[in-house]
Amino acid sequence: MTDDQVFHARHGNDVDMTRSPSRQATADGCADMGRAHEAEYRDRVHWIVDHLPAGRPGRPVAVLDLGCGEGDLSLLLAEKGDRVTGVDVEPSVIAHALRRRDRLPADVASRIDFTVADAHGLGGVPDAVFDAAVVGELLDHVGDPVQVLGELHRTLRPGAVLVFTVPYGVSEAVLRLARAAGEPDAPSEPGHRPGEGERRRVFYHGSLRHLVEPLFEIRELTVLRRHLAGVAVRRDEPRGTPGFALSRAETAFLQRERLLNEEIAELRARCSELAAREVTLTRAGEDLLGGNADLRAENGRLRHRVKHVEGRLAEYRELIARLRRSRAWRLVTAYRRVRHPGGQEVATSDRSMIITGSASPGAIEPSTRSSPPQ
């Protein structure tokens, strides 16, 4: 059984892993994210589903899927029996999620609600209505993560569970957006709505705890491949002021990690260049091989032609040999010796002998032309 089959058998059947929000966020403009990124996404979904609270008979868990994308996780949770509300700021992905929901059985589809909303302001959602919330790869690029966490604290019931994931450390998206903005990857100030080039934050353990702990008590925080994954419980009362900040050690490590990632990017570019050259050389080699094949074919044709001509030449030589052994040839030779005893060449004006195709004596006929007078 493949990994995908195990995944669907465990958590549902209507999930298209190739259409995930994670794929769009990490593909870097490529058409194919690759098996490694798909496996990472599948592992994160496994981990999130396994760390959400389980419902009881007649009491499904009310889950908020914030930043739901096209609804992969929401569909899985609904099939598991939870009551799910998927929220995303992009109308196009919500429209696709609704089409996917409509293809589900009626009892499963009735447990899912998708809506378009900004994570910074869930004004249409009442207070304390959810038993759990999922925030997958959202806190690292929203305008104000403190405001988003405040909305989560408002809409979750006391003691509700928050499951979250963020990219761990420097990613290619961070470097790309920083280069586009022409600015270093400095952390944003709380309440500041950064430009697009600043919207990717770098999270380590300390910075993530500093952001989440005032509103949610973190019960588990682990590194899941290239992501930080955590489970937290809503606090009844905030403890301190949440904010995003890197410690001095994290800032130094960030600079070092940036340099290493830039070096990796240069090496990848070099590898791509070498791969392109290899393709060019391979094509040139194929062209040379094709030219060699044509030359070999032409050589074969010429050899066959030479053999044919050599065969015809051998036939002509055999015919000449037979003529020389014939009685007609001996008569012609004797006649020329009588006609020209001195062995001089016969002038073209002298009487010539015509030899027809037959080698018999009757085939030799003296011409009726006579030499001009001396």
pLDDT in tens, 290-343: 888 888 888 889 988 999 998 888 888 888 888 888 888 888 888 888 887 765
**Residue 43 and residue 204: Cα distance in Å, rounded?**
20
Q: Give residue 263's domain range.
A: 249-332
Question: Is the per-residue pLDDT at 126 higher than 80?
Answer: yes
Q: By mean pLDDT, which of 77-86, 255-264, 298-307, 326-335 is the weakest?
A: 255-264
Tell me, yes or no, whether 125 and 48 share the same domain. yes
Tell me, yes or no, whether 254 and 221 share the same domain. no
Tell me the pLDDT tens digit for each residue of 206-245. Answer: 889 999 999 999 999 999 888 999 999 999 999 988 888 7
Tell me, yes or no, whether 292 and 190 share the same domain. no
Tell me, yes or no, whether 179 and 167 share the same domain. yes
Does a structural domain hold residue 97? yes
Tell me, yes or no, whether 124 and 259 share the same domain. no
Backbone CA torsion sign across 44, 45, 46, 51: positive
Does a structural domain hold residue 373? no
What mean pLDDT is reported for the chain?
A: 78
Does a structural domain hold residue 190? yes
User: For residues 127-155, b (16+ Cβ closer than 10 Å) or e, as one string?
Assistant: eeebbbbbbbbbbbbbbbbbbbbbbbbeb
Is the distance from CB of 232 to CB of 216 less than 8 angstroms? yes
Question: Is the per-residue pLDDT at 175 higher than 80?
Answer: no
User: How many domains does the chain divide into?
Assistant: 2
pLDDT bin (cut points 50, 70, 90) of residue 359 is: very low
Does a structural domain hold residue 352? no
pTM to 2 decimal places: 0.61
Q: How far is CA 211 from CA 20, 38, 226, 308, in A?
A: 26, 28, 19, 91
Q: What is the rounded (10 degree) CA torsion for 156, 157, 159, 161?
A: -30
Pairing of β 216-224 and β 227-234: antiparallel
Tell me, yes or no, whether 176 and 302 share the same domain. no
pLDDT of residue 71: 93
Does a structural domain hold residue 357? no
Tell me, yes or no, whether 239 and 275 share the same domain. no
Q: By mean pLDDT, which of 15-29, 133-147, 259-273 is the weakest?
A: 15-29
Q: What CATH number has the domain bearing residue 31? A: 3.40.50.150
Tell me, yes or no, whether 307 and 279 share the same domain. yes
Tell me, yes or no, whether 276 and 157 share the same domain. no
Question: Is the per-residue pLDDT at 199 higher than 70?
Answer: no
Tell me, yes or no, whether 56 and 157 share the same domain. yes
Could you list the beta-strand ranges (E) of 122-262.
130-136, 156-167, 216-224, 227-234
Is the distance from CB of 359 to CB of 352 less than 8 angstroms? no
Does a structural domain hold residue 94? yes
How many other C-beta atoms are found inside a 10 Å radius of the C-beta of residue 16?
Answer: 11
**Residue 101 and residue 114: Cα distance in Å, rounded?**
9
Q: Which of 139, 253, 118, 256 is nearest to 201 (CA)?
A: 139
Does a structural domain hold residue 364? no
Q: What is the DSSP string of 225-250?
A: TTEEEEEEEE-SS--S-------HHH
Most confident listed range (69-83, 250-264, 290-304, 357-371)? 69-83
Q: By mean pLDDT, which of 8-17, 99-108, 340-349 is the weakest?
A: 8-17
Does a structural domain hold residue 366? no
Tell me, yes or no, whether 306 and 221 share the same domain. no
Tell me, yes or no, whether 218 and 318 share the same domain. no
- Paired tokens of 314: 């051998």
Q: Which of 13, 8, 33, 34 is nearest to 23 (CA)?
A: 33
